[in-house]
Amino acid sequence: METIYLDNNATTRVDPEVVETMLPYFTEQFGNPSSLHEYGNRVGLALKKARGQIQALLGAEYDTEIVFTSCGTESDSTAILSALKAQPQRREIITTQVEHPAVLALCEHLEKEGYTVHYLAVDGQGRLDLEQYQSLLSEQTAIVSVMWANNETGTFFPVLEMAEMAHARGVMFHTDAVQAVGKIPMDLKNSKIDMLSLSGHKLHGPKGIGVLYLRRGTRFRPLLRGGHQERGRRAGTENAASIVALGKAAELALQAMEHENTEVRRLRDKLEKGILSQVNYAFITGDPDNRLPNTSNIAFEYIEGESILLMLNKFGIAASSGSACTSGSLEPSHVMRAMGLPYTAAHGTVRFSLSRDTTEADIDRVIVVLPGIIDQLRTLSPYWKYNAPVKESFDPAYA
């Protein structure tokens, strides 16, 4: 069966050109870039090239602002922990309720260690209140960490403006741009962003490679100390093959940027129109006018996300769901909860995330298959009868 991959926010297919670029670094180009001989030298030059390719994608001023890490999560941790260590008198963090666990779980842990964390709330469309943000910035704030684009809904936060506001109060600004990099143009040298995280596998590069962009002059304390790799900012022998690959992936992403914002967007919009015109009690979550071009998160009321995914999977369609039915306390995703999604829909969200690999035929097939799946599951549900909800008549006393 032809399979259709619409889970590109989880991870992307490594571009074949990227694979080709990285392979020699497992075989003949095996040198350690720190070594003072030809083996090392060649790899060192390849890393320098990759740094430049990423610098170009981010619009960074210097290539030395690119620090390679092992993943997006490491970049996030490095940024936040560095800010705390470098400014020990500042004991507060500002972030949002809808960050990725890479930031949220760390912040929750830091709260236990005695730091104060302010989690900015979002409205029904997943938007922040900048007045609330302004009021929280203070001399106590060690760092603001706000994601550029949300991984579940694709909604953008106004990070450029928020970085300006932070700088005006003398506060350091970090953004988790793991979902945004490669999908929208960036020009960091003309921004006030001090640190930015990205992850290779979200832009058709390999898994297990990430970057922390670190603006020149930003106070910094490394997470890993040891050798002088990455100028002592991230010790440990470089993952040369993956770094070279990420450089190539960045170059390709820059070339595909236009396509992403025209063709991929058109397919995404077509998918949404196709589904919503056939399925009732369904709606788009997040901010429809201000989000990633590749992401669509649709809530289907009165059914549960995982069962939709299992059905889709049977038809060879891969998507994802924010609902995590994993224990007695069945919490919908923290993002949906923060947006205050109606309880009828909070468990039934499905995320479709496209990429430059997505074809018209893929989208057409989903539009044909999905309405039947929704119908079938609703027929099974005690909350549904004759194409409409019946929630009044089903109200167990034992919830």
Partner 1 sequence: MWNYSEKVQEHFFNPRNAGELEEANGIGDVGSLSCGDALRLMLKVDPDTETILDARFQTFGCGSAIASSSALTEIIKGKTLDEALAVSNQDIADYLDGLPPEKMHCSVMGREALQAAVANYKGEEWSDDHEEGALVCKCFAIDEVMIEDTIRANHLSTVQDVTHYTKAGGGCSACHEGIEDILNRVLAERGEAPVGSNLQPSDSRSEGHIIPDDQVSGVWVSSSAGEKAMTAADVAADAMAALSQIELPDTPVVPDTAPVTGNTAKPVMNNLQRMRRIEAVIERVRPQLQRDHGDVELIDIDGSNIHIRLTGACTNCQLASMTLSGIQQQMMEELGEFVKLIPVKSAAVGV
CA distance 381 to 325: 16
* Residue 329 touching partner 1 (CB under 8 A): yes
Structural contact between residues 335 and 318, judged by C-beta atoms closer than 8 angstroms: no
182 is a contact residue toward partner 1 (CB under 8 A): no
Which residue in 122, 169, 166, 170 sits closest to 145, CA to CA? 166
The yes-or-no answer on residue 71 being catalytic is no
DSSP string, 103-142: HHHHHHHHHHTT-EEEEE-B-TTS-B-HHHHHHH--TTEE
Q: Which of 45, 168, 325, 368 is catalytic?
A: 325
Name the residue with tokens 């001989």: 37
Determine if 212 is a binding residue for ligand PLP (CB under 6 A).
Answer: no
234: part of which helix (H) or strand (E)?
none
Q: Is 100 in the site for ligand PLP (CB under 6 A)?
A: yes
Task: Quote the CA–CA distance of 226 and 237 in Å, as a whole number.
Answer: 10
Give how far Cα 42 sits from Cα of 36, 39, 376, Å. 10, 6, 59
Q: Which x/- pattern over 277-316 shows residues binding ligand PLP (rule: CB under 6 A)?
A: ----------------------------------------
- The alpha carbon dihedral of 72, 76, 77, 82 has a sign of positive
Nearer to partner 1, 2 or 395 (CB): 395
Q: CB of residue 92 vs partner 1: minimum separation in angstroms?
A: 23
Q: What single-letter amino acid sits at 308? A: I
Among 8, 95, 96, 179, contact with ligand PLP (rule: CB under 6 A): 179
Closest to 130 (Cα-Cα) out of 94, 184, 105 = 94
Q: How far apart are CA 279 and CA 245, in angstroms?
A: 42
Q: Does 250 bind ligand PLP (CB under 6 A)?
A: no
- Is residue 102 within the footprint of ligand PLP (CB under 6 A)? yes
The site partner of 147 among partner 1, ligand PLP, none (C-beta below 5 to 8 Å per kind) is ligand PLP
Candidate segments 124-132, 206-214, 257-265, 328-336, binder of partner 1 by CB under 8 A: 328-336
In the complex, the residues that contact partner 1 under the rule CB under 8 A are: 302-307, 310-311, 313-314, 323, 325-332, 343-344, 346-347, 379-383, 391, 394-399
Q: Mind telling me the catalytic residues?
A: 325
In the complex, the residues that contact ligand PLP under the rule CB under 6 A are: 71-73, 100, 102, 147, 151, 176, 178-179, 199, 210
